[in-house]
Structure 1
Amino acid sequence: MTEQSGDGSLNKRPTFGQWLKISWPDLLTYLVMGAIGLTVFNLPPAQTRRFRVYTFDGSISSPEIAYPYEKAHIPTWLSALLSLTVPTIVFLLLQIRVRSFWDFNNAIFGMLYALLTAAVFQVILKWIIGGLRPHFLAVCQPDIPRIISGSQLGTGYDGMYYEASICTGDRARIKEALQSFPSGHTAAAFSTGLFTTLYLNAKLKLWANCRPVYWKLIVALLPLLGGVLIGGQLIIDGYHHWYDVIAGAGIGIVTGIGAYRTVYAGVWDWRCNHIPLVRSCPYEHAHLQGASATRKASWRGAAATESNAT
């Protein structure tokens, strides 16, 4: 197998210096995106969200935000760990056959493209748009005596709407409960999950010009099943509304597809979607005419004439 490089002559694994020369812009961007994400995450919500507590007859006005506050079955650290480790294990296992430095390098970099982009996008949306989580009232613990006595006046018609200043609960939990939209866990799971599905599709030649065996379909779709399970569990735990999860999945899907096409020569084109790209040397597709989706195409390149990055 031949490897693609900036000058077309590098047919072996690059030295650390050569790799760093190619990769330093991405490494720097990772740091910048991480700093942006952490900065925005620690900011107070950009907008005040108003809510009702009681209706005119004294009943609970918004039961959709009155769920109990319970410990999440999938905490943030576990979601991040799964989103990173599961795809990495898949990439490593496939290197048993692929045996390609650039393939593994691009897979890791592309996964981080997808994950970091989704994470920063969702944290910005949480900060600007936000929303009340299903367990908001349980976390807020509104000052009921002040509301009933009328010493705390609300806003809107007949003073029915209140702001977070009426809350007496833990301030950190209240801040989190004000930022429901979109689901960050789901965005992370779908970004790396879809990237991994596209990677498996390319290596197994699932959607190609020949009929694959059934197990390949199951294996390729498992990462997406993980994303659906994480999103569904968040709804069950009362941490997100269904539309938060749908929005998070949408962000993950867009970033996953975008990241994959950034580091590989195609997304849906089975003739070249297994070929990793090197930044300084564009890949030419013209010689792929007539290439077939065989086992050789799956693991070793689409045709003997290809100048693959491996």
Structure 2
Amino acid sequence: MAIPNLSSRDPEAIPPYRPEETAQSARLARLRRRLPTFLSSPNKPTSPSKCDRFRERLPKFRAPNPPDRPTFKEWLRRCWLDVLTQLLCVLVAFIIYLTASPLMPRYFPLYPGIHTTDWGLKYGQPYVNEYINTTWSAAVSFVFPFLIMSAISGWYFNSFWDGNAACIGLGYALATATLFQSFIKWIIGGLRPHFLSLCNPAIPPAFGGIGQGPNAM
């Protein structure tokens, strides 16, 4: 490897030593150290702010036009059994709720002063109307989750069958829960907390009581 001969270089090509430039460079370096970071290095990329990081985490919604969306006939051909099963579960639960009498008799004590005992205080609560009736409760339990899952699958995941699976699962959950609840009330259900105050059953004749409930109960 050849070593360059520095003595053979043109003396005019070597920059002369200028002490004023060295002092000026030192002053500029001191000024840069005193300036804030965003002023001393304007070309340096800044780190994203909290708002920018939050916007990056937000879902990128797309148009609700999933490529796997079938026609109504095709959807019905694939999912008719699921829909029919859910409707049958709800229908059976509704029939049990309207027509089925308690499967086992319920016995309870009845004598003068029963309302002041522990049992009477437990089942003698005043009757209170429902804040939300059964129809509204069922509608809210299905409609709101259905809309949320449909929006997420249609706008975010852009997949019809993902949303369909979620909604079918929701329908199965609500239908089977309603059916089992009706069976449990029919087989195991007991007296309501307002039983005494609402029915006011008759005290047995041995105690000389007279009932005021329906059918002289």
TM-score w.r.t. the length of structure 1 is 0.42
Find the residue that maps to 2:148 and give its secondary structure: helix
Superposed, which structure 2 residues align to 1:13-162 within 5 Å?
13-41=69-97, 42-54=99-111, 59-60=116-117, 62=119, 63-94=121-152, 95-144=154-203, 146=205, 148-149=207-208
Name the CA shift for 1:26/1:145 in 2 (closer, same or farther; >3 Å): same
State the number of aligned residues. 147
Alignment correspondent of 1:168 = 213
Q: Which has the larger radius of gyration?
A: 2
Find the residue that maps to 1:52 and give its secondary structure: coil
Name the CA shift for 1:133/1:57 in 2 (closer, same or farther; >3 Å): closer
Q: Percent identity?
A: 37
Alignment correspondent of 1:12 = 68
Alignment correspondent of 2:12 = none
Instruction: Name the Cα RMSD after superposition.
Output: 2.9
For structure 2, the residue ranges without an aligned partner over 5 or more in a row are: 1-66
Shift of 1:54: 3.6
Task: Give CA deviations for 1:21-66 in whole Å, capped at 9, x if unaligned.
Answer: 2111112212321221122112111111111234789844511111
Contact 2:115 2:124 in 1 (8 A): no
CA distance in 2 between counterparts of 1:36 and 1:58 reads 37
Name the CA shift for 1:117/1:82 in 2 (closer, same or farther; >3 Å): same
Shift of 1:86: 1.8
Name the CA shift for 1:68/1:82 in 2 (closer, same or farther; >3 Å): same
Superposed, which structure 2 residues align to 1:250-265 within 5 Å?
none
CA distance in 2 between counterparts of 1:146 and 1:77 reads 42
Alignment correspondent of 1:196 = none
CA distance in 2 between counterparts of 1:23 and 1:101 reads 13
Shift of 1:135: 0.9
